[in-house]
């Protein structure tokens, strides 16, 4: 910006608005085309080949839609999708219920609510990888704080259960950490929703002698719904792509009980080096996220229009 | 966040008892939710044996003596030596050296934590500067000018965020290998910029939309060119928005892990992929990991407090503005 002070300024003085518009937008678009769209197109192209990134000189063969067929008919992939769906469903449910409840309580405007709100927000600002890493410490069977607290309240021996090593517990271990981290996010959006409801509506309801419960059901909830849905949309997309936190916590294990879609993708792409196959999987995942998000945005707009 | 927004419900103001109960539950939640963070901070000032003791040692000075061993081990690499060799050494010249020797080891040099931390700083600030610069210009153009297919372009910009990072990482890995950008700071800066610029455009467009056009128009009638008006009228007005956006970009780049772990291994590696691989002798050195985590999280705590008024807007891409 500063360069415009120099004689260059005189040359651009005559620039039309249209020229400025393109000059301002072009760099961003070029960067996105180079680092987002071009890789996407390359991924599509690779997904039709048997390319392996660790053997760049091997003869390249066009395999057509084989990878897509293999993936979509592979029961293991569907198991991974189920694990992902389980994770997405429970995290969203827990975060929405707890987040909304917290927002509702904070909106009672007790003294010092601003301070406590800020404190509650801290977990969601942290690095998911670092969070995942330090929760592995809390989840240690003998020495971990989590196991200690559970045993303190239930009397179970702290080394009798392994949150990260047990097939039935590990899917819940990652749900607990994600809920700890992202409930504040849902809470913050719900809080905005609650605060967007004008007081006069409640006053009118009060005049009509509507009970508190009645007010909650027919004013608070419906008016907050677009906000709740927005939070669900963002969390849904993010958790469908979830990689960093879970990779650090369980890296998909034990076995493949917590192997979410992104972790499968990473294993195929960067451990098995099946680049062509993993490109096809990446495209399928992208289409799924994109499709779901689009359907959801349409629903969201309908709710908003009401 | 509270002050400006709270409009007291007049007839429907919650009673004192309701407030007290609500407050008690929220405070309880906050305290429980903060326990893991406090625990990391506490672990960072324990000795390795204290950090894995059962039952856990909670209160410093009462249950355990605070120690800087975690921080020593974080910043130094050590090697085990025989008792004879240790006895032959001159007296230790630093507290860390002394602690290390009490574990029959000597400090052999600095660890990789500082370079990784520096990489995090350079890459985060570099990509933030770039994405906010690019984003401000693009946001201004989208906000003020008739751009053909404006909505489609904006949607395209947003949709780049929906890609799972691992999916993009495959071709970027190949592309960077061809261009010689793998494991370079420049490569990571460009990559994080491309991720952050979508957020920057969307947030800043919202902020610039809120600045009345009349300001620039008045300036242009006074003889400013469009660019001068942008620089001297719009930019100062948008400062708050630009700063808030910059902090969001910084936090993203600071926290990012997936690209970092797949595309960097040495020279450009940032702290998030490094912290989990801090390993001591005979298993994970938890106080050192906790120390690395604590130092890494402190900047974020500060930013969270600074940003609290704009958090909502940032995390929803400007969709919710209050």
B153 & B187 share domain: yes
Q: Give pLDDT, residue B12.
A: 62
From chain B, the residues in CB contact with A243 under 8 A are 164-166, 257-258
User: Does a structural domain hold residue B255?
Assistant: yes
pTM tops 0.90, yes or no: no
Nearest to B83 by CA among B71, B60, B101: B101
User: Does a structural domain hold residue B15?
Assistant: no
Closest residue in A to B290 (Cα) is A134
A32 vs B9: CB contact, 8 Å cut-off?
A: no
Check pLDDT > 90 for residue B4: no
Tens of pLDDT, residues B20-46: 999 999 999 999 999 999 999 999 999
* CATH number of the structural domain spanning residue B174: 1.10.3720.10
- Name the residue among B39, B146, B171 with its Cβ closest to that of A42: B171
Using H for helix, E for strand and C for coil, what is the string for A203-267? Answer: HHHHHCCCCHHHHHHHHHHHHHHHHHHHHHHHHHHHHHCCCHHHHHHCCCCCCCCCCCHHHHHHH
Tens of pLDDT, residues B258-301: 999 999 988 899 999 998 888 766 677 899 999 999 999 999 88
Q: Could you give the percent of chain A with pLDDT greater than 90?
A: 55
Q: Give pLDDT, residue A3.
A: 46
B164 vs A106: CB contact, 8 Å cut-off?
A: no
B99 & B202 share domain: no
A145 vs B35: CB contact, 8 Å cut-off?
A: yes
Axis-axis angle for helices A75-106, B16-44 (nearest 10): 130
A118 vs B305: CB contact, 8 Å cut-off?
A: yes
B290 vs A134: CB contact, 8 Å cut-off?
A: yes
CATH topology of domain A75-305: MetI-like fold (1.10.3720)
pLDDT band at A12 (very low <50, low <70, confident <90, very high): very low
pLDDT band at A264 (very low <50, low <70, confident <90, very high): very high
Q: Give pLDDT, residue A91.
A: 97
From chain B, the residues in CB contact with A37 under 8 A are 160
User: Does a structural domain hold residue B13?
Assistant: no
B224 & B247 share domain: yes
- Mean local confidence (pLDDT), A180-195: 93
Q: Give pLDDT, residue B281.
A: 67
Q: Give pLDDT, residue B84.
A: 86
B145 & B248 share domain: yes
B212 & B263 share domain: yes
The per-residue pLDDT of chain A, averaged, comes to 88
Q: Is the peptide bond before A254 cis (omega within 30 degrees of 0)?
A: yes
Q: Token pair for residue B247?
A: 């902090």
Q: Give pLDDT, residue B136.
A: 95
B99 & B54 share domain: yes
Check pLDDT > 80 for residue B322: no
Q: Give pLDDT, residue B83.
A: 85
Nearest to A5 by CA among B242, B239, B232: B232
Q: How far apart are CA A254 and CA A170, in angstroms?
A: 8
Of the two residues B197 and B93, the one the predictor is more confident about is B197
Total of domains in chain B = 2
- Mean local confidence (pLDDT), A272-283: 92
B119 & B253 share domain: yes
Closest residue in B to A248 (Cα) is B276
What phi and psi values does residue B64 have, to the nearest 5 degrees? -150, 155
Tens of pLDDT, residues B258-270: 999 999 988 899 9
B79 & B162 share domain: no
Least-confidence region, from A65-74, A243-252, A293-302: A293-302
Sign of CA dihedral A216, A220, A222, A225: negative
Q: Could you give the percent of chain B with pLDDT greater than 70?
A: 95
Question: Which one of A6, A23, A25 would you mutate to disrupt binding with B, by most B Cβ within 10 Å of its Cβ?
Answer: A25
B80 & B129 share domain: no
Q: Domain limits at B90? A: 45-111
Q: Give pLDDT, residue A15.
A: 77
User: Does a structural domain hold residue B180?
Assistant: yes
Q: How far apart are CA B259 and CA B173, in angstroms?
A: 9
B170 & B261 share domain: yes
Axis-axis angle for helices B286-307, B16-44 (nearest 10): 140
Check pLDDT > 60 for residue A138: yes
Check pLDDT > 60 for residue A4: no
- Mean local confidence (pLDDT), B108-129: 93
Tens of pLDDT, residues B52-68: 888 888 888 888 889 99
B100 & B163 share domain: no
Q: Give pLDDT, residue B308.
A: 81
Asked whether A100 and A229 are in contact (CB, 8 A), the reply is: no
Residue A86, CA atoms < 13 Å, CB-side half-sphere = 18
pLDDT band at B86 (very low <50, low <70, confident <90, very high): confident
Using H for helix, E for strand and C for coil, what is the string for B66-92? Answer: CCCHHHHHHHEEEEECCHHHHHHCCCC
Q: Token pair for residue A85?
A: 């769906």
Least-confidence region, from A102-106, B90-94, B182-186: B90-94
**Residue at which a domain ends, from B60, B86, B111:** B111
Q: Token pair for residue B110?
A: 């600095």
pLDDT band at A172 (very low <50, low <70, confident <90, very high): very high
Distance between A23 CA and the closest CA of chain B, angstroms: 9
B309 & B195 share domain: yes
Q: Could you give the percent of chain B with pLDDT greater than 90?
A: 43
Q: Give pLDDT, residue A306.
A: 65
- Name the residue among B40, B167, B225 with its Cβ closest to that of A43: B167
Check pLDDT > 80 for residue A304: no
**Residue at which a domain ends, from B85, B111, B137:** B111
Q: Burial, B197: exposed, middle or buried (Cβ in 10 Å; 0-12, 13-18, 19+)? A: buried
pLDDT band at A105 (very low <50, low <70, confident <90, very high): very high
ipTM of the complex: 0.87
Using H for helix, E for strand and C for coil, what is the string for chain B? Answer: CCCCCCCCCCCCCCCHHHHHHHHHHHHHHHHHHHHHHHHHHHHHCCCHHHHCCCCCCCCECCCECCCCHHHHHHHEEEEECCHHHHHHCCCCCCHHHHHHHHCCEEEEEECCHHHHHHHHHHHHHHHHHHHHHHHHHHHHHHHHCCCCCHHHHHHHHHHCCCCCHHHHHHHHHHHHHHHCCCCCHHHHHHHHHHHHHHHHHHHHHHHHHCCCHHHHHHHHHCCCCHHHHHHHHHHHHCHHHHHHHHHHHHHHHHHCCHHHHHHCCCCCCCHHHHHHHCCECCECCHHHHHHHHHHHHHHHHHHHHHHCCCHHHHHCCCCCCC
From chain B, the residues in CB contact with A247 under 8 A are 257-258, 261
- Mean local confidence (pLDDT), A104-112: 90
Check pLDDT > 50 for residue B8: no
């Amino acid at each position: 910006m500063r360069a415009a002070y120099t004689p260059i300024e005189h040359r651009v003085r005559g620039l039309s608005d249209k020229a400025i518009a393109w000059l301002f937008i072009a760099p961003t678009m070029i960067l996105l085309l180079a680092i987002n769209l071009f890789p996407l197109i390359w991924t599509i192209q690779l997904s039709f080949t048997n390319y392996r990134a660790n053997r760049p000189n091997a003869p390249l063969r066009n395999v057509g839609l084989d990878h897509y067929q293999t993936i979509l008919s592979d029961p293991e992939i569907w198991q991974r999708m189920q694990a992902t769906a389980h994770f997405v469903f429970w995290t969203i449910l827990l975060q929405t219920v707890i987040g909304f409840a917290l927002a509702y309580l904070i909106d009672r405007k007790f003294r010092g609510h601003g301070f406590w709100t800020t404190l509650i927000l801290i977990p969601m600002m942290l690095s998911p990888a670092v969070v995942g890493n330090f929760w592995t410490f809390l989840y240690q069977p003998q020495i971990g704080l989590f196991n200690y607290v559970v045993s303190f309240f239930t009397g179970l021996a702290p080394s009798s259960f392994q949150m990260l090593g047990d097939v039935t517990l590990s899917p819940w271990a990652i749900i607990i950490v994600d809920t700890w981290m992202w409930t504040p996010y849902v809470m913050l959006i719900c809080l905005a929703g609650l605060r967007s409801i004008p007081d006069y509506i409640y006053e009118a309801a009060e005049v009509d002698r509507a009970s508190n419960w009645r007010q909650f059901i027919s004013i608070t909830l419906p008016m907050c719904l677009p906000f709740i849905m927005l939070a669900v949309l963002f969390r849904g997309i993010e958790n469908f792509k979830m990689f960093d936190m879970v990779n650090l916590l369980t890296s998909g294990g034990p076995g493949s009980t917590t192997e979410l879609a992104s972790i499968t993708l990473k294993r195929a792409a960067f451990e098995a080096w099946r680049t062509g196959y993993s490109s096809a999987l990446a495209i399928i995942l992208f289409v799924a996220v994109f499709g779901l998000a689009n359907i959801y945005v349409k629903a969201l707009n309908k709710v908003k229009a009401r | 966040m509270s002050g400006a927004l709270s409009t007291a419900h007049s007839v429907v103001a919650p009673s004192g008892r309701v407030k007290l109960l609500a407050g008690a539950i929220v405070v309880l939640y906050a305290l429980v939710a903060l326990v893991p963070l406090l625990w990391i901070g506490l672990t960072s000032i324990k000795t390795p044996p204290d950090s894995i003791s059962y039952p856990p040692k909670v209160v410093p000075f009462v249950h355990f003596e605070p120690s800087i061993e975690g921080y020593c081990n974080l910043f130094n690499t050590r090697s085990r030596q025989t008792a004879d060799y240790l006895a032959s050494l001159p007296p230790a010249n630093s507290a860390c050296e002394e602690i290390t020797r009490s574990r029959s080891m000597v400090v052999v040099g600095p660890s990789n934590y500082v370079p990784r931390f520096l990489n995090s700083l350079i890459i985060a600030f570099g990509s933030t500067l770039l994405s906010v610069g690019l984003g401000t210009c693009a946001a201004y153009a989208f906000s003020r000018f008739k751009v053909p297919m404006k909505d489609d372009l904006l949607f395209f910009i947003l949709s780049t965020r929906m890609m799972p990072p691992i999916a993009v990482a495959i071709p970027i890995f190949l592309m960077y290998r061809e261009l010689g950008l793998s494991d370079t700071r420049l490569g990571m800066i460009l990559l994080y910029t491309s991720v952050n610029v979508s957020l920057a455009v969307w947030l800043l467009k919202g902020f610039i939309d809120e600045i009345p056009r009349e300001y620039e128009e008045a300036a242009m009638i006074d003889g400013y060119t469009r660019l001068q008006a942008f620089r001297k009228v719009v930019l100062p007005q948008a400062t708050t928005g630009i700063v808030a956006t910059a902090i969001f970009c910084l936090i993203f780049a600071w926290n990012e892990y997936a690209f970092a772990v797949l595309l960097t291994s040495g020279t450009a590696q940032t702290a998030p992929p490094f912290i989990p691989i801090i390993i001591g002798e005979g298993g994970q050195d938890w106080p050192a990991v906790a120390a690395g985590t604590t130092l890494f999280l402190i900047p974020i705590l500060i930013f969270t407090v600074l940003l609290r008024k704009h958090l909502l807007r940032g995390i929803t891409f400007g969709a919710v503005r209050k």
